[in-house]
Amino acid sequence: MKKVLVIEDNRDVRENIVEILELAKYTVLAAENGSIGIQIAKAELPDIIVSDIMMPGVDGYSVLETLNEDENTAGIPFVFLSAKDKREDIRKGMSLGADDYLYKPFEAYELLDAIKLRLKKSDFLQRKFSKTTQGINSFFKSASEYLGMELLSKNRKLQEFSSRGEIFQEGDAAHNLYFIEEGSVKTHRVTESGKEMVTGMHGKGDFFGQLSLLNKSGTYLETAVALEKTRLLSIPKGDFTNLVYKDREVSNKFLDIISDSMAHLQEQLVDIAYSSVKQRAAKALLELHDKGFIQDSKQKGVDILREDLASMIGTAKETAIRALTEFREQGLVGVGKKRRLILLDRSKLQRIADFG
């Protein structure tokens, strides 16, 4: 059963709230003032707190402020009870992180509805979703239930592409976000000088195409090509838009799931500006190893074009080849069938990536 902490200095009101919640099958903790409420909250970690604002000594605002300073209690949903109906009180409470307000006197169903909604929100936000097709579909289902409407379609199709098959081209109308269930994908752009610049090497569990869906022109900003037999889950742009713009909490949750590649792109730009070619080459090889493009065995991995590796590093092909040759001579990497790269000494390569 969910645990509710009620902080209310008026005995009659407090006992009435406790009775309503116990009849609704909640486990209820009660405190007659803010100080005791803080102690109970830290000791019991309730699922939600319902607190009066105007109380002698420590008021409701101070209770919320104090609990927000403790990482163990900062995320507990908080509902204020108030005899006032003033905008400044609402603004102050919301600025402190309150989730909802109830004005006295209130009906039992109003209290129960507010608690049910906030617990539902809390459960959704705390739930972890795996980066698998099943996990993504579970997220969409939970997000639809949380939003309380069938906003999200069920048209998330699995598509298969053969090696070197084009998924979309730079300038095409952007209709989908893609999730890699199996396989690997390279994304690249063409510079003004006509050279190909690799913008990403994506493996199983990665998303790509999200920046294009946020592009005002409505077109893909890059070209995507499968590097081997690849299976993708396509997420329609309409679903993406609803998740990003319909509700702030859902948006934050969704962006947290798909944001890895955005952060990685930013990191790449910093590396190009400040790291040596040798460091960037080591980082690129480690990244490719982490994503399964490079293996420790001659039988596995993906054929990485030296032009693509050079583009990832942000240097000329000849310079990239010289860095690879140096790594081979040091016994850090090898070359297997079809010129596939093999990682031989990860720890030494990591030291080069970290310290040059």
Domain 133-265 homologous superfamily, CATH:
Jelly Rolls (2.60.120.10)
Q: In terms of DSSP H, where are the helices of 107-236?
A: 108-126, 133-147, 210-213
The torsion angles phi and psi of 205, rounded to 5 degrees, stand at 90, 0
- Which of the four CATH numbers 1.10.10.10, 3.40.50.2300, 2.70.70.10, 3.30.1370.60 does domain 275-355 have? 1.10.10.10
In the numeric block, which tokens belong to residue 272?
């190009």
pLDDT score of 353: 84
Burial (Cβ within 10 Å: 0-12, 13-18, ≥19) of residue 208: buried
Contact 308, 201 (CB under 8 A): yes
pLDDT score of 50: 95
Burial (Cβ within 10 Å: 0-12, 13-18, ≥19) of residue 115: buried
**pLDDT tens digits, residue range 38-82?**
999 999 999 999 999 889 999 989 999 999 999 999 889 999 888
Contact 268, 199 (CB under 8 A): no
pLDDT score of 254: 86
> Longest C-alpha distance within the chain, in Å?
82
Task: Report, in angstroms and rounded to the nearest whole number, the Rg of the chain calculated over CA atoms.
Answer: 27
Enumerate residues 6+ apart whose C-beta is below 8 A from 245: 251
Cis peptide leading into residue 105 (ω within 30°): yes
- 1 by DSSP, 3-state: which? coil
Among 25, 23, 96, 26, which Cα is nearest to 6's? 26
Scan for tokens 């108030």, then name that residue.
82
Give the number of other Cβ atoms within 10 Å of residue 304's Cβ.
21
Instruction: State how far the Cα of 218 lies from the Cα of 225, in Å rounded to an integer.
Output: 20
**pLDDT tens digits, residue range 232-290?**
999 999 888 888 888 877 888 888 888 765 555 556 555 555 578 888 888 888 888 88
pLDDT score of 89: 64
pLDDT score of 85: 61
Q: Which regions of the chain are under pLDDT 70?
A: 84-97, 148-153, 155, 260-274, 297-303, 338
Amino acid of residue 37: G
Residue 136 per-residue DSSP state: H
pLDDT score of 156: 80
Q: In what order do the strands lie in the sheet with 207-208?
A: 158-161, 230-236, 176-182, 207-208
Scan for tokens 């955005």, then name that residue.
262
Contact 94, 38 (CB under 8 A): no
Among 259, 261, 228, 227, which Cα is nearest to 244's? 259
Task: List Cα–Cα distances, 203 to 97, 160, 289, in angstroms.
Answer: 38, 14, 10
Domain boundaries, the chain: 3-126, 133-265, 275-355
CATH class belonging to 3-126: alpha beta
- 288 by DSSP, 3-state: which? helix
Contact 72, 81 (CB under 8 A): no
